[in-house]
Amino acid sequence: MTELKSQFISAEFSPPGAFLVTGGTRGIGRAISVEFARAGAYVIANYLRNEKAASELQAQAEAEKFQLDFCRADLTTADGLQKVATAVGQLGRPFLGLVHCAAIGAHKPVAELTARHFEWTMALNVRSFFELVKLLLPNLVVGSSIVALSSPGASRAIPNYAVVGASKGALESLARYLAIELAPRGIRTNVLAPGAVATDAWKVIPGGEIKLGEAAKRSPLGRLITPEEVARAALFLCSPAATGINGHTLIVDGGASIASWC
């Protein structure tokens, strides 16, 4: 862990560098906010509606005495995007990267999906990522990182997941283009694709609990991946240990995607 921490707390960055984590107060996003803050980074956790989750994370930050702030903003609006960009611009410390976890989507068969479902999903999952990167580019320093959170649905057909999977596929494609175009600026871009992780997101998926149980049984590890395991992978991608990794998708699924019975 010492090597991973060095990016955030070395003398080169005084005060410690900062990260923005969108969707950073719940589920995997929360685990990433906590992991980065524990490693010495100053974290801005973005969220929109769930004040309870933000309050609980704030209490944890105060109890553990790590540096974490919040920015409540709707990333699908120009005002919300500008609010986040302003918060980053006022940091007064090096801005080391963006981890885009914010996501939403309609879990329905294609025949039941509407144009509104499509636009709503793409607005947060893809367009907000695109616009945030453009807004934050002037703040990113040499050696900084961008990580986009994807899912198996980007490359595999999952029931009732068409529009979400399509958005994740678009997100991964955009990240590859960013990786090539931003590399000359000293900025790396990668994708993190977790397997099945037990978060609140599964509560809106038809038969979510059953599917989680089935995924755990199929996994070569015999269990689900935890949010903390995904968070450690995100920390690795943004650390000096990963300076040679750019434009790739890191799969964190315990081997499920390569097992023939999965």
Over residues 9-62, the pLDDT tens digits come to 554 455 679 999 999 999 999 999 999 999 999 999 999 989 999 999 999 999
Residues 3-23 have pLDDT tens digits of 555 556 554 455 679 999 999
The answer to whether residue 110 scores a pLDDT higher than 80 is yes
Exactly one of 83, 134, 161, 217 is catalytic; name it. 161
For residues 203 and 162, the answer to whether their CB atoms sit within 8 Å is: no
Residue 25: half-sphere exposure toward Cβ, Cα within 13 Å: 22
CA 93 to CA 226: how far, in whole Å?
31
Q: Does the annotation count 168 as an active-site position?
A: yes
Per-residue pLDDT at 225: 85
Domain 2-200+227-252 top-level CATH class: alpha beta
CA 165 to CA 154: how far, in whole Å?
5
Exactly one of 42, 52, 65, 168 is catalytic; name it. 168
- Among residues 257, 38, 5, 239, the alpha carbon closest in space to that of 145 is found at 239
Per-residue pLDDT at 11: 43
Residues 128-150 have pLDDT tens digits of 999 999 999 999 999 999 999 99
